[in-house]
Amino acid sequence: MDQRIFITGGASGLGQALARQYAARGWRVCIGDINQEAGEAFARTLSTDTAKAAFLPCNVTSESDLQEAADWLEENWGGVDIVVNNAGVAAAGGIAEVPLSDWQWILDINLLGVVRGCKVFTPLFRRQGHGRFVNIASMAGLLNPPSSVSYNVSKAAVISLSESISFELADDNIAVTVVCPSFFKTNLASSLRSTSDHLTRLTQKLINKSKFGADQIAEEVCRGIDRGAFLVIPQEKARTAWRVKRFAPFKMFSKIVAKEKKRFLAPRPAGNKTS
């Protein structure tokens, strides 16, 4: 039987790139997304055969949407082998500036969206005797850069959730992979809620100047899943930064962060460019 994968936020960005990777491997690919028109169109590009590719309307803030997806997969494809909790949004701003409504918004999608996905699909994985969750977090959840506090917290919580359930579900033959990419070219900025125009421009600039596209990140994610990795950090510079944080004294790492903050976050006079 063909292996099966379900990807939330699969109509664009990294979700779409992962869908292409697994479709090319001959997997059955089901994408869930709130954008029905884009999702249906993309599913048709993967395959005209609904036994090989499918789209399901799915809002990760709705447990019932995810449950309907799980029920559809069990009824139509006999289950699912990998669930990718990928759907997410972005925010920028400091602790004093980000309104609580934005905290609630980002946590409901970035964190509770993953919680709902894991909660809903765990019983299905248990019934079939195997499965893997792939939870998309971010380097922001490992490094906690300044002026993106709500985003950092949402992604750090996904990493904690992933580690917790990897221990909890191991005896059920359910594996967990958590993915922590740094900036790469994607449409994430389209969802950005920011407390200043400067942070909005900076976020878009960091995305645009990245040497990595979603397809490259997806390739690294697939390799990590193939080797059964728990933590996948796709970019080498990001892996180096993570090693520095893990092993350097906190005061030393704080100085590095302060230097980067001065470099990237300080408003620049008109006409000047951030180096």
Beta strands across the sheet bearing 231-232: 53-57, 28-33, 4-8, 82-85, 131-136, 174-179, 231-232
Helix, strand, or coil (residue 8): strand
End-to-end Cα separation, the chain, in angstroms: 52
E strands of the chain, at which residues?
4-8, 28-33, 53-57, 82-85, 91-92, 131-136, 174-179, 193-194, 231-232
DSSP states along 121-140: HHHHHHHHT-EEEEEE--TH
Residue in 151, 183, 184, 212 annotated catalytic: 151
The H or E element that residue 114 is part of is helix 112-128
Residue 167, both tokens: 């221990």
Is 151 a known active-site residue? Answer: yes
CA distance linking residue 148 with residue 80, whole number of Å? 35
Write out the catalytic residue numbers.
151
